[in-house]
């Protein structure tokens, strides 16, 4: 299908969910009400580390309206976890962070549940705690779990010969970069409703990203068959990785099983910060060497990442940190040692970009440092080393569509890079940073695919059943566009199901920027299969061969015989209303052409497609206050093909906003393991009025494996933002920021240090 034939793909269509959202018709989990519904509340540990000596629930149980109080002894006490099984539904012998779940209550209303939680008495023996991952690795440090040196997960890998590479370098630089834990700050707090019915099925209404993987976790934690657990996704009020897995579904399911009543539990905003899960904090030591011409000859990396008290998604995040950014350049000599370390802080997990933003901040800052020492323009240094279409990277990634060079060139032209750097304005600067990401990955066993069912209804419209779900990023609209393009109908003719583990086919869910690429391919395959079945039936009706038929605007016609047409309504009726009739219903499956990466060497083609980006920030720094004012921002993205320009621009605006917050204002701060800024009044996220002008640029490389050539976009939009701003700050005032967030106080300290050196 050539581009001129597209009628739906590439159109800037509004979200198909827009109307129900703005009218309030959309139902989020807190809107769900059921007869006899109870309300759940969790008791959390007030200390960072301690033994549980006694839990007294007697007073709580005597309160009128309390229907159930549960502790660890009421649960199966089976450890579970996405990668490392180190977590129980409720703490049994020890608590490991301030906020650890100890007991839970189900009551007739929220006030009664809160009163009951306050009446539970827990006696603790406080234990020494550890809050810094480097200190946690030291000999004799308190152990959070029975893991040597508190190391939960470790990665070691080597490519080429780093020592030889460094020896051949003209310039070698070593630096440390640090990034803190930050919160996804989704507007809808984590919540769920659970009900254990008379058929023995536990149904959980859950606004999470990956329903089938969560079902597997619940199956293990509750010691129930997965087929007896049904998870339905209501509307999702933002997720950004933070709703892949958290504790509330397991705790609430336990209450539902005990009461055999529907139970609802929704976090308060304080609970979101106290026990919700944020981005993995990291300390990154980089040593890099380059030739005078800018060729990077070696990179040595050491990462110490803060796991928090339980592992969640942090091991996979560490893997991303250790490997992903290397692949955007033609690096050959690489050595990486990465440690994920237990501490007595809240667990860390996925957040938009996984571990990519942390390492990209370090790498892209380091490239600017090296460029200056080599006397090169930072843009030229990147162009010298960039990965291109056809490359196989040092880690085995196959770049089948690589538009990073064009992203760099177009972003540079748009911002006026050469002109502005040639005519300096005091305290103003430009900074560039690049990024590579994935469009899915072969991590769930040996699966990196998706499935979809599609059927033609008697009214000529189509039902699309897919379990990928929509977490607010516009997946339903993209799926509707892909199906509509294949079937030559409007998006309004495509009815899309909610994600439901009992009704929709197995899918891995929203993560790794996989939905458009992986889910979209499954939808395209299902639509193509239905289209073929429609043509089979139409050929019989119209007494013509399939090759003679044309599908257009909800009808099938014989190309060279005017008047011989059949509408989709007529075709559906013909297929059904006869002896041996059948509905026109087909499935579509897709599994990406990538590889299961070797668990030790981590070598292999991780994803089916790789999006790229180059961002450039123009800033002005107030040297009296240290405040950074972003004057202009350009974000050039290689996303394969644009399915929906309106949605794509929205992703860029949202990702850049989150990235600016990560760069300049956001940090979860702790005192003795307890978060000290658990609210939006103290935890500062970007607001609409504080956003700079953002110019999205889309580079369409038309990936050979993507649906109509599309790749992922959602996560890449955040990844390069902090280093682009950091490099711009240095260009403006000469202060190299190596620790996030880059606050006015840190910039002023840097300016003072420059004065003292001069």
Question: pLDDT tens across 466-482, in order?
Answer: 999 899 899 999 999 99
Query: What is the β-pairing status of strands 229-232 and 202-205?
Result: parallel
Residue 203 · residue 257 · CB < 8 Å? no
Task: Give the DSSP H or E segment for 263.
Answer: strand 263-266
Give, as one character, the DSSP assignment of residue 68.
E
Question: pLDDT tens across 138-188, in order?
Answer: 999 999 999 999 999 999 999 999 999 999 999 999 999 999 999 999 999
* 581 or 394, greater pLDDT: 394
Give, as one character, the DSSP assignment of residue 219.
H
Average pLDDT, the chain: 96
Whole-number Å distance between alpha carbons of 95 and 37: 30
Does the structural domain 347-437+609-757 have CATH classification 1.20.120.420?
Answer: no
- Helical pair 520-542 and 568-576, crossing angle rounded to 10 deg: 80
Question: For position 1, what pLDDT does the model report?
Answer: 39
- Residue 709 CB: number of other CB atoms within 10 A? 20
Question: DSSP secondary structure string, 109-162?
Answer: SHHHHHHHHHH-EEEEEE------HHHHTSTTPPPSSS-GGGEEEEEEEEES-H
Question: For position 245, what pLDDT does the model report?
Answer: 86
Whole-number Å distance between alpha carbons of 622 and 302: 34
Length of the chain: 758
| Domain parsing of the chain, residue ranges | 3-25+449-591, 32-127+186-239+243-275, 347-437+609-757
Question: pLDDT tens across 568-608, in order?
Answer: 999 999 999 988 889 999 999 999 999 888 888 999 999 99
Task: Give the DSSP H or E segment for 259.
Answer: helix 248-259
Which CATH architecture does the domain made up of 32-127+186-239+243-275 adopt? Answer: Alpha-Beta Complex (3.90)
Whole-number Å distance between alpha carbons of 718 and 697: 15
Whole-number Å distance between alpha carbons of 614 and 699: 11
Question: For position 179, what pLDDT does the model report?
Answer: 98
Going by C-alpha positions, the residue among 120, 350, 373 that lies closest to residue 242 is 350
Give Cβ neighbours of residue 715 (< 8 Å, ≥ 6 apart): 352, 353, 354, 356, 437, 512, 513, 655
Per-residue pLDDT band for 4 (boundaries 50, 70, 90) equals low
Whole-number Å distance between alpha carbons of 417 and 702: 27
How many angstroms separate the Cα of 109 from the Cα of each of 38, 106, 247, 489? Answer: 6, 8, 21, 48
Q: Is the pLDDT of residue 2 over 60?
A: no
Which CATH architecture does the domain made up of 3-25+449-591 adopt? Answer: 2-Layer Sandwich (3.30)
Q: Is the pLDDT of residue 78 over 70?
A: yes
Question: For position 321, what pLDDT does the model report?
Answer: 97
CATH topology identical between 3-25+449-591 and 347-437+609-757: yes
Going by C-alpha positions, the residue among 384, 368, 471 that lies closest to residue 421 is 368
Whole-number Å distance between alpha carbons of 340 and 697: 36
Say whether 342 sits in a helix, a strand or coil. Answer: strand
Burial, 114: exposed, middle or buried (Cβ in 10 Å; 0-12, 13-18, 19+)?
Answer: middle
Question: pLDDT tens across 5-47, in order?
Answer: 799 999 999 999 999 999 999 999 999 999 999 999 999 999 9
Residue 129 · residue 341 · CB < 8 Å? no
Question: For position 73, what pLDDT does the model report?
Answer: 97
How many angstroms separate the Cα of 588 from the Cα of each of 21, 121, 251, 524, 720? Answer: 29, 54, 36, 7, 35
Question: For position 600, what pLDDT does the model report?
Answer: 87
Task: Give the DSSP H or E segment for 463.
Answer: strand 462-466
Question: pLDDT tens across 100-117, in order?
Answer: 999 999 999 999 999 999
Whole-number Å distance between alpha carbons of 179 and 261: 44
Give, as one character, the DSSP assignment of residue 329.
B
Question: For position 560, what pLDDT does the model report?
Answer: 83
HEC string for 617-672 = EEEEECCCCCCEEEEEEEEEEECCCCCCHHHHHHHHHHHHHHHHHHHHCCCCCEEC
The Cα diameter of the chain in Å comes to: 92
Question: For position 354, what pLDDT does the model report?
Answer: 94
The mean per-residue pLDDT over the stretch 247-258 comes to: 96
The mean per-residue pLDDT over the stretch 685-700 comes to: 96
Going by C-alpha positions, the residue among 372, 389, 340, 379 that lies closest to residue 612 is 389
Question: DSSP secondary structure string, 273-304?
Answer: HHHS-EEPEEEEEEEEEE-TTS-EEEEEEEEE
Instruction: Give this prediction's pTM.
Output: 0.96
- Helical pair 211-222 and 248-259, crossing angle rounded to 10 deg: 60
Question: For position 471, what pLDDT does the model report?
Answer: 92
Residue 698 · residue 10 · CB < 8 Å? no
Whole-number Å distance between alpha carbons of 415 and 107: 58
Whole-number Å distance between alpha carbons of 329 and 113: 55
Take residue 366 and report the two structure tokens written for it: 């380091």
Task: Give the DSSP H or E segment for 453.
Answer: strand 449-456
* Proportion of the chain in helix, strand, coil states, percent, rounded to 5: 30, 25, 40
Look at the alpha carbons of 52, 58, 61, 64 in this order and tell me if their dihedral is positive or negative.
negative
Question: For position 444, what pLDDT does the model report?
Answer: 64
Question: pLDDT tens across 611-637, in order?
Answer: 999 999 999 999 999 999 999 999 999
Cis peptide before 741 (omega within 30 of 0): yes
Say whether 227 sits in a helix, a strand or coil. Answer: helix
Q: Is the pLDDT of residue 3 over 50?
A: no
How many angstroms separate the Cα of 471 from the Cα of each of 177, 297, 513? Answer: 32, 41, 12
């Amino acid at each position: 299908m050539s581009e001129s034939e597209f009628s739906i793909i590439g159109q800037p269509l509004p979200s198909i969910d827009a109307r129900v959202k703005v009218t309030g018709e959309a139902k989020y989990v807190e809107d769900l009400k059921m007869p006899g519904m109870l309300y759940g509340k969790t008791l959390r540990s007030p200390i960072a580390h301690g033994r549980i000596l006694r839990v007294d629930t007697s007073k709580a149980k005597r309160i009128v309206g309390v229907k159930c109080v549960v502790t660890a002894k009421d649960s199966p006490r089976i450890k579970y976890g996405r990668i490392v099984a180190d977590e129980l539904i409720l703490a049994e012998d020890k608590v490991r962070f301030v906020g650890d779940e100890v007991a839970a209550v189900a009551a007739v209303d929220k006030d009664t549940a809160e009163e009951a939680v306050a009446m539970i008495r827990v006696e603790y023996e406080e234990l020494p705690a550890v809050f810094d991952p480097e200190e946690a690795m030291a000999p004799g440090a308190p152990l959070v779990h029975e893991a040597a040196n508190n190391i939960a997960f470790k990665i070691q890998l080597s490519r080429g010969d780093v020592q030889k590479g460094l020896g051949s370098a003209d310039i070698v630089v070593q630096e440390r970069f640090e990034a803190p834990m930050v919160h996804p700050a989704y507007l809808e707090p984590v919540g769920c409703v659970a009900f254990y019915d008379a058929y023995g099925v536990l149904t959980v209404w859950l606004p999470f990203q990956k329903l089938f993987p969560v079902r597997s976790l619940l199956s293990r934690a509750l010691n129930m068959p997965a087929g007896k657990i049904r998870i339905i996704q209501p509307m999702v009020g933002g997720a950004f990785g933070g709703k892949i897995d958290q504790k509330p579904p397991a705790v609430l399911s336990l209450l539902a099983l005990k009461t055999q009543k529907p139970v609802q539990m929704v976090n308060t905003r304080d609970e979101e910060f106290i026990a919700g899960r944020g981005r993995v904090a990291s300390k990154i030591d980089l040593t890099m060497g380059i030739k005078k011409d800018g060729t990077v000859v070696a990179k040595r990396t050491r990462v110490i990442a803060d796991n928090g008290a339980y592992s969640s998604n942090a091991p996979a995040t560490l893997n991303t940190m250790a490997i992903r950014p290397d692949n955007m350049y033609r690096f050959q000599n690489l050595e990486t040692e990465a440690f994920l370390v237990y501490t007595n802080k809240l667990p860390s997990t996925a957040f938009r970009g996984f571990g990519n933003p942390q390492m990209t901040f370090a790498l892209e800052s380091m490239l600017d440092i090296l460029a200056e020492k080599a006397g090169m323009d930072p843009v030229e240094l990147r162009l010298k080393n960039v990965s291109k279409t056809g490359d196989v990277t040092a880690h085995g990634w196959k770049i089948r569509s690589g538009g990073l060079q064009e992203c760099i060139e177009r972003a540079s032209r748009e911002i006026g890079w050469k002109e502005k750097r040639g005519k300096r304005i005091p305290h103003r600067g430009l900074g560039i940073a690049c990024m590579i990401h994935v469009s899915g990955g072969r991590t769930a066993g040996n699966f990196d695919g998706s499935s979809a069912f599609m059927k033609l209804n008697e009214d000529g419209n189509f039902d699309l059943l897919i379990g990928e779900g929509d977490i607010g990023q516009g997946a339903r609209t993209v799926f509707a566009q892909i199906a509509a393009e294949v079937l030559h109908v409007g998006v309004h003719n495509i009815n899309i199901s909610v994600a439901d583990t009992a009704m929709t086919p197995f899918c891995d869910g929203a993560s790794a920027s996989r939905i458009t690429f992986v889910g979209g391919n499954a939808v395209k395959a299902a639509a193509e299969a239905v289209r073929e079945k429609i043509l089979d039936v139409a050929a019989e009706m119209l007494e013509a061969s399939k090759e003679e038929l044309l599908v257009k605007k909800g009808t099938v016609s014989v190309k060279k015989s005017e008047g011989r047409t059949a509408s989709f309504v007529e075709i559906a009726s013909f297929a059904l209303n006869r002896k041996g009739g059948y509905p026109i219903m087909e499935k579509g499956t897709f599994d990406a052409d990538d590889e299961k990466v070797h668990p030790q060497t981590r070598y292999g083609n991780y994803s089916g497609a790789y999006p790229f980006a180059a961002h450039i920030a123009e800033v002005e720094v107030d040297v009296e206050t240290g405040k950074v004012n972003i004057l202009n921002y350009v974000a050039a993205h290689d996303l394969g093909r644009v399915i929906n320009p309106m949605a794509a621009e929205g992703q860029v605006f949202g990702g850049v906003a989150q990235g600016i917050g990560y760069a300049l204002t956001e940090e979860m701060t702790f005192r003795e393991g307890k978060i000290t800024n658990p609210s939006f009044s103290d935890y500062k996220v970007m607001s609409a009025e504080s956003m700079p002008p953002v110019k999205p640029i889309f580079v369409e490389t038309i990936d050979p494996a993507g649906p109509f050539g599309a790749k992922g976009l959602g996560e890449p939009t955040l990844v390069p933002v902090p280093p682009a701003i950091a490099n711009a700050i240095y260009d403006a005032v000469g202060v190299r920021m190596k620790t996030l967030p880059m606050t006015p106080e840190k910039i002023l300290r840097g300016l003072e240090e420059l004065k003292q050196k001069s």
